[in-house]
Structures are given as C-alpha cells and as structure tokens.
Amino acid sequence: MSVWSSSLDNSARAPKPDRDSSDRIGAERDGLLPAWSRAAFPEGLARQSEGVWAPWAYQWSLPEQARINQAASRRAGGSAPHFEHLLRTAVERAMPDLPPEPLLLDLRSGDGSRSVTPWLRVLPRARILASDPASVLLATLVSRAAALGEADRVLGVVADALDAPLAPMSVDLVSGVACLHEMDDPDRVLAAAAAWLRPGGYAVFLAPFDGHGVLRVAYERICAEARLWPDDPLSPGAEAALRSLSGDIAARTLPDSSDPAFGDLEQKWLFSRESLETAARALGFREVRFLPHNDHETLYRDVALIQVRAVTGQGDATLPDWALAVLDSFDRALRPPVKRLLMLEGTLVLRR
C-alpha cells in the first residue's frame, strides 16, 4: 500500500494540507523551508515537524505511518566511520569535479547514521535532502544533525526512493546507501536518479554483488562434507545457518521478480556488473565505475564467520577447522584482483 494513495478510511487520516492554506503562507513568509532547497521543490512542501517536510499531495495516514515506521527499523543504526570511509573513497576516486557546495539527495536515509552523518563529514559544504518514507526516522536524523551543529545543512523529506518530489535536473549528487538491493525494480531508481541529476552530476550506490556465488559454493561444499568429519562435527546451528545463507544467495542471484516469493524478500538482489552498467548507460549515464570494498587474503573466511554469527545470533560462533580450511582454499584460489572482479560488496558510481 502506498502512503501517497492510502485506501484507509478517512476517519484514520488527518486532513490533507491545502496548498493555499495559512500554514503554507506562514511557512514561506517565515522562511522555514531553507532557501537552498526551494529551487528543488518548486511546488513547495508541507511542514510535518521540525526539519521534516512532505509533498503537498502526501496523505497523512496514522496507521500507515505506524506500519512504515515499524518496518523501517532495519534502516536505523550502522557504523558511521565504515560508511564514511566508503563514501569518501567514492568521492576521491570517482567524482573529480563534484561542485564544492553540492546539493545532495539521499534516498532511504533512515536515521542518517549510515548516510547523512557520513556525508556531513565527507562533504562539509554540501546541503543534504534526506528522504525516507518513515517520518520517525527522519525526525531522529534531523535531531542528530542538530546535535552535530549541522541542522542548517539538512532537510528531511517524507518520500520513498521513487517518490521524491524534486524538480528535474535539480541536484548534483544522488546517494543510496544499502537500499538499491531492497527495491522491486532497481532500474526505476536509476531512472529517477538520472532525471533528478544536473548534467555532469553523480549517483552513488553501495550495494551487494553476485560475487556471493563463491560463498554459496563454499557453503554447499562444507555442508556436503560434514558427514566425513564425525569426530569434528559441524554444529546443527552452523549447518542450518550455512544452508540458509546458501538459499538466500540463490534466491537473490538473477531473481524472478514475477515469482510471488520475490515480494517476500526483504533484500532482493545481488547485482552483476553487466546488468547495472547496461541499465545505467541505457538511461543516459555516460560514466559507470565500480569500486570493490574488499579484496584481502582471508575475505571468504572472514565473511563466512560474520554471516554465521549474524544468522545464529551467537557472537562467538565458529566453524570446525576442516570447514575453515575449505574457505581458505577459496581464498587461496582467488587472488585479490579476481576478488575485485567478483565483488561481494561494492560502490557503484554513475555520472550523468
């Protein structure tokens, strides 16, 4: 159900703002909408709370907002230094002529810890339009920016990745940190980014890639060989985790979006370089770059332990020595240059 056209009974919905209402007149007269953001929103925005705005067409449904806010908890939290490093690397390596004071649209910002907070440090003169369908996360984001003394550089907009009500060619940079793979149709997100960007602008997305297929093969081999090691068994929890991870990788590699099960996937895609580049160039992006996040010697061993611990919920979960040896064999076979081609995680940088 879309927050923009909820079918809920009107009794559960606050009145739709009137574009000629005194609230809008007062907002424009008092300058509440930052001057730096007004060109991007020629139709204006309706103020929802301090620092958080919504399109005038937005229909405020309390039950629907409650559902969205609850479901959006996965976009809260994260290691700001980790994402700051990745975003700074993208700017330094792939955005040589980004304007010194760019206008940035961030998609599915959540509470800002994974995107807006890092961007404030990476681009100290940028103005940031932080968008998310969850108003409560945007309120947290705005409060966090205020605590950092950066409230004047951030505007929260209640909108999903395809619904941001921006004027065409109005921003210098579009970012999506760990959100593209959650979308039913990622190509539509790329198309929207292309429309919003000024000529020469950039789009940057942090995403998972189909190099996870290497881990799938390793996990399946470990499960198949477990019966050969009765004296050093694979624990039931670890085996269940490996089988679950293998199934998840299979489901997200070239998924069939027409399959009813596709809609139940929270994380839907493991991207291939070819598919993203083909889509981006067809949409008018003239430069496409991929920046792998990891290529170190023990990549597959390290990621496997992280994933098993995440699935089992046991921070000290491990695998038998023979299973670790299987992972080490993949690490030895695929050298860092190959790991960069077969990315597990990477940054996609597009230039309009």
Q: What is the pLDDT of residues 4-48, one digit of tens each?
A: 222 222 222 333 444 444 444 434 433 588 999 999 999 899 998
* pLDDT value, residue 66: 65
User: Is residue 284 a contact partner of residue 194, using CB atoms and an 8 Å limit?
Assistant: yes
Query: Scanning the structure block, which residue is given the tokens 């920016």?
Result: 145
For residue 86, is pLDDT > 90?
yes
* pLDDT value, residue 148: 95
CATH top-level class of 70-208: alpha beta
For residue 154, is pLDDT > 90?
yes
Q: What is the pLDDT of residues 200-245, one digit of tens each?
A: 999 999 999 999 999 999 999 999 999 999 999 999 999 999 999 9
For residue 72, is pLDDT > 70?
no
User: Is residue 190 a contact partner of residue 283, using CB atoms and an 8 Å limit?
Assistant: yes
**What is the C-alpha separation between 322 and 335, in angstroms, rounded?**
21
**What is the C-alpha separation between 112 and 84, in angstroms, rounded?**
12
The SS3 call for residue 349 is strand
The SS3 call for residue 232 is coil
* pLDDT value, residue 188: 96
Q: Which part of the chain has CATH 3.40.50.150?
A: 70-208
* pLDDT value, residue 17: 42
